[in-house]
Chains A and B, each alone.
Chain A
Amino acid sequence: MATVEQQFEWHSGKNRSAGVPDAIEFIDVYKSFGSNKVLQGLNMGLPEGMISMILGPSGTGKSVCIKHIVGLLYPDSGDVVVHGQSVPSLSDAELFEFRRQFGVLFQDGALFGSLNLYDNVAFPLRQHTEKGEEEIAEIVNRRLREVGLGDAGQKMPNELSGGMRKRAGFARALVLDPQIVLFDEPDSGLDPVRTALLCELIKEIHAENGGTYVVITHDIMSARRVAEYIAVLWRGRIVEAGLAQDLFDSENPFVKQFLSGESAGPLGME
């Protein structure tokens, strides 16, 4: 059984500032599911207005981070702060209001199976705005065109490929012009070409709309293509974080191994 020191031997916790304030902060966050300790004193800041990537091996708590940011999960201890607001201290009503600043792309798109693509993308507009159907149609069609699904509005989610579902989920996540967009493993289940195209799309839309994007992945190629800021997460704590190039140049053995995809290094099969 590894001691705490051994477990976190490579966690320097070094955080090279991106030079802008943090949009999202995790402050000494602990979270367990039964005996499984997922987050173990996580301290992490994700800078405003940049594409940040939370990188780490599978099962290390990356998706749990996203669920904490939007208040789907609460920390056992510690705090999650978004734009100065402590998420765990929000009431239910405040939380529903607070969530409107987010767009979230789930792993498989999480499109509503009973609605066609058009209605899926229109759903947030119909729920949260007073816009008429004509204006909604203009916005939805523009968003669908942006993600290359301009002709697929009448299709049902089960008629779409995995990549199309993700792009449709992306269109839905963007439709309310959110300040923060969260991507939960956008590359999972996609071939390398589709992954590259989706990464390009994320970059293009970020360049066009701005905002804070947080991408969760364990795919190094995606990180190289998209990330402006990287936080490497392992065993529920940050190993190192900083601007993408700084991390790719890091001498930390774990970061070096993970970002180069080498088999030799601190990370094994355990």
Chain B
Amino acid sequence: MNELLAMPREWLSAAGEIGRFMGTVLSDVFGARVLRFSGETLRQAGILIISSTLIIWALMFVLGLECGIEGAYFLEAQGAPAYSGVFAAWCDLREIIPYAFGYMLAAKVGTGIVAELGAMRISDEIDALEVMGVDSMVFLCATRLLGSWLVLPFVYIAGIGGAFLASYIAVVQQVGVVSSGGFELIFWEFQNPTDFLFSLTKAMVMATVIVLVGCYYGYNASGGPVGVGTATAKSMVLNLVLVHLIGMMGTQIFWGQSPKAPIGG
């Protein structure tokens, strides 16, 4: 029995540890301690822009195309191709694009953070920071979180724009089942600024969790290069699970009660 309980107990203990770590980093940001390292925050923001933006946008664009293609063919088969915009609007804004953003962020930014901080941990760089009197949690983790908050909303908003454009291209130009005006009429009718805000909220919660999980696994890596590899894999698994949980909860909370579909008066 004890053996059966050992694993859930371990998971609970790990969840508690991760939760406490996240709480510390968030309090470093909200408590303004991170502002002591505003230069490092801006550097992290810059790194994020230069190294990750294009690949995130690329995946969002491709999945925007997919939303358009799926919607167009499915609704054409049902005899209602004019409503392709409904599928594209919901697929882009509410579901697939936030997931695409989460997937690529976890794969590119999350694992990058684990690898970088993990390498710093095993080469004593984090200890070196500490003995120089620098709070390494604030310097390494809080700056990365604040840096991502400065950059990622704009990355996401621009990515959403790219996905909308991709759906338009797929439905109107590629499959060609509906006119440009017809697509846009329906596409914009089935979303509003509140939906956009909800979508942004969903994506930013994902981003926050991904960065914090990456920081946790990197900061606490041990066991040499193999340990860093293991920590990177673990962070990816946890981030993918959390991205889906946040996606599901977001949909339930934001649209579960009211789908905001202008159908049937």
Contact = CB atoms under 8 A, between A and B. Distances in A.
Contacts of B123: 108, 110, 113
Contacts of A111: 125
A113 B133 contact: no
B33 to A, nearest CB: 11
Contacts, number: 48
B189 interface: no
Interface residues of B, number: 13
A100 B124 contact: no
A107 B125 CA distance: 11
A124 B124 contact: no
Interface in A85-129: 92, 96-97, 99-100, 102, 104, 106-108, 110-113, 123-124, 127-128
B62 interface: no
A96 B127 contact: no
A160 interface: no
B131 interface: yes
B175 to A, nearest CB: 47
A70 interface: yes
A110 B133 contact: no
A72 interface: yes
A198 B125 CA distance: 21
B128 A104 contact: yes
Interface in A58-72: 67, 70, 72
A106 B127 contact: yes
A113 B133 CA distance: 19
A110 B134 contact: no
A239 B119 CA distance: 36
6 smallest beta-carbon distances between A and B, as pairs? A110-B124, A110-B128, A106-B124, A99-B133, A100-B133, A104-B131
